[in-house]
């Protein structure tokens, strides 16, 4: 299943127009994304808020991630301070996968941002979290926090932004987006054989693990006749007909 390094800003010194700061609100956003990622079967690791950008890159590159997703908000400089608005999704011009992910995010963000024409995917060769990470990387600047209108939009739409970001990840990975539900425990009930864990909710998809009869699983979501489950560190889809909840 997909594995994402989620890297909300550690820049607490970037103050918002009225109150709060970039680190605070990007971490709130990441918190809100977590239930959507769990229910949709996306494994993730969060960056260490006590480490800087270099630390996030180092930690990301130590593991094996399909995507490195950096969450930020922007600020205008000079004559643009407090004036600029918009969402900018930065990608590597040397990676078609990075460009594709950025384009998906930008297209989806257009549906919730009040000025769709100001949502853009932009190539970068200078942003370290895009250029120095081993995995496919994008950096999302989700509005200008020194602009009162963008700040208000961001603060008032954090849940919608979180949902849209995870929807975009699901679109990129080609997996169903599943609304969050309370985590449940389930027990595998078969004729004695193992229950397959699959990479996609289809009997034609790859088998990525197996659960013995009587095995206990966490259930994070469901789609069709499949549960999104986790068993012994493996996340995937298993047929709900063979899992008893409770």
* CATH code for position 52: 3.40.630.40
Q: 59 and 94 share a domain?
A: yes
95 DSSP 8-state letter? -
Domain boundary among 120, 143, 173: 173
The answer to pTM > 0.85 is yes
Torsional sign, CA 102, 168, 59, 235: negative
Residue 207's domain comprises 184-245
Q: Would 126 be classed as within a structural domain?
A: yes
Q: Would 178 be classed as within a structural domain?
A: no
Structural domains in the chain (count): 2
Domain boundary among 173, 195, 222: 173
15 DSSP 8-state letter? B
Strands (E), the chain: 3-8, 43-46, 67-74, 87-91, 119-123, 136-144, 184-188, 195-198, 207-211, 216-223, 226-231, 234-239, 243-245
Q: 124 and 220 share a domain?
A: no
The tens-digit pLDDT sequence of the chain (246 residues) is 899 999 999 999 999 999 999 999 999 999 999 999 999 999 999 999 999 999 999 999 999 999 999 999 999 988 888 999 999 999 999 999 999 999 999 999 999 999 999 999 999 999 999 999 999 999 999 999 999 999 999 999 999 999 999 999 999 999 999 999 999 999 999 999 999 999 999 999 999 999 999 999 999 999 999 999 999 999 999 999 999 998
Q: 168 and 235 share a domain?
A: no
């Amino acid at each position: 299943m997909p594995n994402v390094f989620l890297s909300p800003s550690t820049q607490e010194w970037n103050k918002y127009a009225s109150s709060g700061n970039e680190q605070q609100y990007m971490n709130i956003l990441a918190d809100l994304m977590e239930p959507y990622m769990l229910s949709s079967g996306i494994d993730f690791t969060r960056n260490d808020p006590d480490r800087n950008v270099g630390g996030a890159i180092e930690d990301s590159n130590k593991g094996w991630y399909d995507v490195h997703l950096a969450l930020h908000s922007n600020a205008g400089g000079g004559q643009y301070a407090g004036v600029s608005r918009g969402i900018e999704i930065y990608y590597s011009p040397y990676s078609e996968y990075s460009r594709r992910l950025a384009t998906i995010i930008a297209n989806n963000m257009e549906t919730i941002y009040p000025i769709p024409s100001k949502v853009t995917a932009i190539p970068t060769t200078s942003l370290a979290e895009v250029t120095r990470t081993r995995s496919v990387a994008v950096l999302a600047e989700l509005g200008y926090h020194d602009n009162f209108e963008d700040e208000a939009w961001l603060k008032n739409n954090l849940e919608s932004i979180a949902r849209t970001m995870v929807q975009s990840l699901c679109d990129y990975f080609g997996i169903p987006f599943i609304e969050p539900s309370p985590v449940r425990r389930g027990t595998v009930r078969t004729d004695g054989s193992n229950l397959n864990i699959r990479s996609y909710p289809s009997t034609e998809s790859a088998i990525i693990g197996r659960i013995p009869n009587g095995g206990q699983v966490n259930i994070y979501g469901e789609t069709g006749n499949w549960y999104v489950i986790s068993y012994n560190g493996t996340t995937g889809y298993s047929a709900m007909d063979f899992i008893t909840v409770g």
